[in-house]
Amino acid sequence: MVTKCANPSCLATFNHREGRLFRFPKQAVDDGRPANTHSVQHFWLCGDCFPAYRLEYNNAIGVSLARHFEGSHFPSPGSGPRKLIAAA
């Protein structure tokens, strides 16, 4: 359950009326159990963080927070520094 903004530097509590909710696949636990193919993780960026940041998913790494380029509305993928939010 989402309770706060995915940006670790932000203290905003979840408000479904603002920001953006993201869904990413959840990796299986490496203990021999079969993977649940319908498992997802939910993340939310608040209304203040969503214009400045984006969440990205990578199978090998997990979910990371990346900053949009200054002055660019549509940044190129893979650009800018990232903070790992959830490991794969």
Under the banding of pLDDT at 50, 70 and 90, the label for residue 75 is: very low
Residue pLDDT, tens place only, 32-67: 565 555 688 899 999 999 999 999 998 888 899 998
Q: Give the start-to-end residue ranges of the domains of the chain.
A: 20-87
| Tokens matching residue 55 | 């969440």
For the chain, the 3-state helix, strand and coil shares in percent, each to the nearest 5, are 0, 35, 65
Q: What is the CA radius of gyration of the chain?
A: 14
pTM higher than 0.85, yes or no?
Answer: no
Tell me phi and psi for residue 76, to 5 degrees.
-75, 145
